[in-house]
Amino acid sequence: MKRLRVMVVDDSATVRKLLGDAVQAEADLELCASAQNGQVALDRLEAARPDVVTLDLEMPVMDGLSTLRELKRRRPGLPVLVVSSHTERGALVTLDALAAGASDFVAKRSASGVDEARRFMSEDVIPRVRSLAARAAGVALRPRAPTAPAPVARASGRAAATPELLVIGVSTGGPNALEALLGALPRAFPVPIVIVQHMPTLFTRLLAERLDARGPLRVREAVDGARLEPGHAWIAQGGRHLLVAYSEGSTVLQLDDGPPESSCRPAVDPLFRSAARACGAGVLGLVLTGMGSDGLEGSRTIVKQGGAVLAQDEATSVVWGMPGAVVGAGLAEAVLPLPELAAALVARVQGRGPAHAERRTPGRGGP
């Protein structure tokens, strides 16, 4: 079995030791190099030949952003996992790193001891390292989904209605994918958009502000009771599920503190399920790049209620876990590269998509 090669770059000797030990404990991973700053990492890059790099952003000699840009210049396809501090400055620099080409990030937990720090490495960092390295090295972590979607069987037996609500689920690679997608939609996009991006608290507010400043749509972090309006997008708050409900003639947002699903909160499945209950066949779901299978069961509910789901294709996804699971289950109406998704969404909400029926009244989605 090919062992995936990991380089750890962090100015903390403790972090290098903990993460290096976590890597070495995995049968399919090996620590090919560690470095205490960016310059050392660059000096060791050619000899180490890593499949993935974990990168601290706050280091002496050469900071993480400068290191990242040089890594991407030398090895454009090399995945980089940013290990970020959970502060406002850390979140802002992390978003800059993602825009500069980092593949994903993980925010450091406050660890009260070595055992908790080890759990953070094994539960939060290692799965991301494995997924990113495997994709870059061409190693399959799961059976590949069909290259073309299977026919979608709708429980209602009818085609999907013209959408009245777009719900989006995304994880690894999401900030860049969302910026590209939302930036390509028209300012007058005729239906509301509700998004779950796997991110911790604080990061989601800063992401919403960045997307709002860089695209035509108004983008906000979700607040409880917000009334959904066309041309607006809402992003779930980190640490809380986001639901859609139909109340007194309006479709509104609800924040929920229920238990994590798929080890995530916010999670995509609760949003998709609630949207299907609130709007039935009027829901259009979109599953973008991401690790794991969050969104699969929610997509199943959307389709059963008569709605439709689109998925990002494998070639343009950073990790084809979430969309691949939906495609493999035969739930995707279409599987498209990221640059084609905006046009496809516009066509669907204008009733020009592949599955079009009469527009339905919101709020009657059934159980």
List residues with catalytic annotation. Answer: 171, 198, 294
- 7 sits in the region (left: phi over 0; alpha: psi -120 to 50; else beta) called beta
State which H helix or E strand residue 29 sits in. Answer: strand 29-35
- Strand pairing report for 104-107 and 250-256: unpaired
Please say whether the dihedral angle defined by the alpha carbons of residues 303, 306, 307 and 312, taken in this order, is positive or negative: positive
Tokens of 322: 């979430």
Check residue 363 and give left, alpha or beta (phi > 0: left; psi -120 to 50: alpha).
Answer: left
Contact of 280 with 306, CB cutoff 8 Å: yes
DSSP 283-321: EEEEE-SBSS-TTHHHHHHHHHTT-EEEEE-STT-S-BS
Q: Tokens 């994903």 map to which residue? A: 104
8-state DSSP, 236: P
What is the spatial distance between Cα 321 and Cα 131, in angstroms, rounded to a whole number? 9
Cis peptide before 266 (omega within 30 of 0): yes
Residue keyed to tokens 């924040």? 255
> What is the biggest distance separating any 2 CA atoms in the chain, rounded to whole angstroms?
64
Is residue 310 within 8 Å of 334, Cβ to Cβ? yes
Distance (Å, rounded) from C-alpha 54 to C-alpha 23?
11
22 vs 297: CA distance, rounded Å? 32
DSSP per position, 165-206: EEEEEE-TTHHHHHHHHHHHS-TT-SS-EEEEE---TTHHHH
